Amino acid sequence: MNSITVAAAIILNERNQLLLVRKRNTAYFMQVGGKLEAGELAEVAMLREIQEETGSQATIRQFIGRFETRAANEADHQLISYVYWVDLHQAPYMNAEIAEMKWMGLDDDQTLLAPLTTEVVIPWCKQNLLHASQV
């Protein structure tokens, strides 16, 4: 099976909503992020993609991990994702190949989401944000 390696950002607002994007000519909403260029470190790729897709600089809060899921938009591809929790420095806006951008609540069941978002990001957010609010 072919694989695609990407860096992806968990971006949350003050209401614990996730920032998700849908790229042109695709159906699924997903994390801001994208493919690594040759020899590029995952964190460098992720910060570059955030700038390209949202027009904002960002700061990494935490490396969440490396995950393998199905790719959302490429049939018969495995997605290898390096996921980071980040803070944006400015309000995001749609840029580059982004067709749609939205803040989504963690319990939204109306939005068509990429496997990485449903299998990794939302469970991580629910577990960690719930824990943080109980501290």
Tokens, residue 76: 């018969």
pTM: 0.93
Q: How far apart are CA 52 and CA 67, in angstroms?
A: 23
Q: Which of 13, 4, 61 is nearest to 33 (CA)?
A: 4
In the chain the domains, ranked by start, together with CATH numbers, are 2-134 (3.90.79.10)
pLDDT classification of 1: cutoffs 50, 70, 90: confident
For the segment 48-106, what is each residue's pLDDT rounded down to a tens digit? 999 999 999 999 999 999 999 999 988 899 999 999 999 999 999 999 889 999 999 99
Mean pLDDT of 32-55: 96
Identify the sign of the CA torsion 6, 126, 29, 105: negative
